[in-house]
């Protein structure tokens, strides 16, 4: 029988057993819910209605509606008018929440008029309506003045940002942050699943039956592979939910670089997960009980956390600085650092290629070492095994 079939069977078992477990299904549902919720909830709470409904007491100044609409459009607000024959009717409508505000200005623009709100005054709406009324009055007063000159006089100064942050930039920043968190969460939840899986097989002694036909390294590889497929599935569900939610709620404009960013995230999630789960897998084999396993895995946890913080604090501030460049070529750090740099378009292609190459090579070496340690340790069930002993015992 080919080794590949053996590996595939191990991976398939992991996928079926874990993929059907209540824990996994709940965790996928839960994360999806959080993603969708984090988009939908703010839209409900802060987004408010896109169109402001305003009551107009007739008779109103003839061009008031047009003027308000023009100003509102300039300020990115849409307004829908409802006409009422009397102030009483308009007040009732306001009371019944049919409109948000009522404008009561005499048709001939005599007197100050009023804008009535139900409870809170809306400063933004107030300034739009105010500007419109003032403009109409001024127009009447200055009817003899050249309309072009008047228009010129009424043009407000332009708002200019020195270093404008586009929506795409904001989205990039968000992507970079989410990406780093996803890689970290993926490594912790699925890498630790590999660790627990290895210890469970040891504890239940099934490993002796399995290893009477499956090579230790094939078992480790199948395990990493199968659990990785589940991790990738969860990541995909997460991303798809996020993209759809972003689209539907229109919270922010997705940058053009989205497909590349998603691809980068996928690639580095795979590399990061493989690297860390391989390390966690063979360290797990050194333990006989879960408590020992978490002790054995502490160094790996520390490295992962350190890498994450380097990415979040050093690289995010200066994506093409020295620290970022050095971290790119340290395989345990690369999965956190490179997607960040890529999201900011701050990594030259040669660095990207070299970083992927180095990480893959590192994983290869780690797996070769790990598989030997795993083989030497996984059948020893008495207490915690020393790394060196495991290495020697599998050496012959």
Of 13-21, 43-51, 100-108, 110-118, the segment contacting other proteins by CB under 8 A is 13-21
| Joined tokens for residue 328 | 């790119």
Q: How far is the CB of 275 from other proteins (least distance, A)?
A: 27
186 contacts: CB under 8 Å, gap ≥ 6: 231, 234, 235, 269, 272, 273
**Dihedral sign, Cα of residue 138, residue 143, residue 149, residue 152:** positive
Contact yes or no for 187/300 (Cβ under 8 A)? no
Is residue 9 a contact point for other proteins (CB under 8 A)?
Answer: yes
Between 339 and 376, name the residue whose CB sits nearer to other proteins: 376
How many CA atoms lie within 13 Å of 65's alpha carbon, on the beta-carbon side? 13
Residue with tokens 């995909």: 236
Q: How far is the CB of 119 from other proteins (least distance, A)?
A: 58
Q: Which is nearer to other proteins, 13 or 118 (CB)?
A: 13
Nearest approach in angstroms of CB 274 to other proteins is 23
**Binder to other proteins among 4, 17, 106, 124 (CB under 8 A)?**
17
The verdict on 98 binding other proteins (CB under 8 A) reads: no
- By the rule CB under 8 A, 94 interacts with other proteins: no
Q: How far apart are CA 75 and CA 83, in angstroms?
A: 23
Note whether 363 and 275 are within 8 A (CB). Answer: yes
CA–CA distance, 292 with 271 (Å, rounded to integer) = 26
Task: Tell me, by CB under 8 A, how many residues bind other proteins.
Answer: 24
The one among 146, 169, 208, 318 contacting other proteins by CB under 8 A: 208
Q: Quick check: 13 binds other proteins (CB under 8 A)?
A: yes
- Mark residues 362-381: x for contact with other proteins by CB under 8 A, - for none: -----------------x-x
Mark the segment that binds other proteins (CB under 8 A) among 8-16, 146-154, 156-164, 269-277: 8-16
Residue 209 sits in the site that holds other proteins (CB under 8 A): yes
Q: Which of 213, 260, 298, 317 binds other proteins (CB under 8 A)?
A: 213
* Least Cβ distance, residue 6 to other proteins (angstroms): 6
**Does the footprint of other proteins cover residue 229 (CB under 8 A)?**
no
Q: Does 152 bind other proteins (CB under 8 A)?
A: no
Choosing from 211, 232, 267, 354, the residue that interacts with other proteins (CB under 8 A) is 211
Binder to other proteins among 102, 105, 207, 371 (CB under 8 A)?
A: 207
Main-chain dihedrals φ then ψ at residue 195, nearest 5 degrees: -60, -50
**Residues ≥6 apart with Cβ < 8 Å to 62:** 107
Minimum CB separation of residue 380 from other proteins in Å reads: 9
Listed ranges 12-20, 278-286, 317-325, 328-336: which one lies at the site for other proteins (CB under 8 A): 12-20
Give the binding range for other proteins (CB under 8 A) out of 5-13, 27-35, 95-103, 325-333: 5-13
118 binds other proteins (CB under 8 A): no
Nearer to other proteins, 208 or 250 (CB): 208
Instruction: Give the residue, chosen from 123, 144, 155, 212, that forms a contact with other proteins under the rule CB under 8 A.
Output: 212
Q: Does 210 bind other proteins (CB under 8 A)?
A: yes
Q: Which residues bind other proteins (CB under 8 A)?
A: 1, 6, 9, 13, 16-17, 21, 201, 204-215, 379, 381, 394, 396
């Amino acid at each position: 029988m080919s080794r590949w079939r053996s590996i595939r069977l191990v991976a398939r078992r992991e996928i079926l057993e874990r993929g059907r477990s209540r824990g996994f299904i709940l965790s996928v549902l839960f994360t999806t819910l959080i993603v969708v919720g984090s988009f939908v909830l703010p839209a409900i709470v802060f987004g408010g209605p896109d169109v402001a409904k305003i009551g107009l007491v007739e008779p109103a100044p003839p061009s008031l509606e047009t003027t308000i609409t023009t100003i509102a459009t300039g300020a990115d607000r849409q307004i829908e008018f409802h006409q009422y024959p009397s102030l009483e009717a308009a007040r009732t409508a306001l009371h019944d929440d049919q409109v948000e505000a009522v404008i009561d200005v005499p048709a001939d623009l005599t007197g100050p008029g009023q804008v009535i709100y139900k409870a809170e005054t809306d400063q933004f709406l107030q300034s739009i309506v105010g500007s419109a009324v003032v403009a109409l009055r001024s127009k009447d007063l200055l009817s003899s003045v050249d309309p072009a000159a008047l228009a010129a006089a009424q043009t407000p100064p332009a708002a200019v940002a020195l270093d404008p942050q586009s929506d795409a930039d904001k989205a990039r920043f968000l992507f970079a942050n989410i990406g780093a968190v996803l890689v970290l969460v993926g490594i912790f939840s699925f890498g630790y699943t590999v660790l627990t899986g290895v210890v469970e097989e040891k504890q239940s002694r099934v490993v002796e039956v399995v290893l009477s036909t499956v090579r230790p390294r094939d078992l480790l590889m199948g395990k990493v592979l199968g659990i990785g497929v589940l991790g990738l599935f969860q990541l995909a569900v997460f991303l798809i939910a996020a993209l759809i939610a972003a689209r539907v709620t229109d919270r922010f404009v997705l940058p053009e670089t989205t497909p590349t960013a998603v691809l980068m995230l996928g690639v580095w999630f795979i590399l990061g997960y493989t690297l860390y789960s391989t390390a966690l897998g063979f360290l797990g084999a050194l333990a006989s009980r879960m408590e020992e396993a978490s002790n054995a895995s502490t160094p790996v946890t520390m490295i992962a956390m350190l890498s994450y913080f380097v990415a979040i604090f050093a690289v995010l501030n200066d994506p093409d600085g020295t620290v970022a460049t050095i971290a790119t070529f340290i395989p345990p750090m690369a999965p956190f650092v490179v997607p960040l740099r890529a999201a900011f378009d701050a990594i030259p292609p040669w660095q990207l290629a070299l970083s992927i190459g180095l990480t893959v090579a590192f994983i290869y070496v780690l797996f070769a070492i790990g598989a030997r340690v795993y083989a030497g340790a996984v059948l020893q069930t008495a207490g915690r095994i020393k790394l060196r002993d495991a290495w020697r015992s599998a050496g012959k």
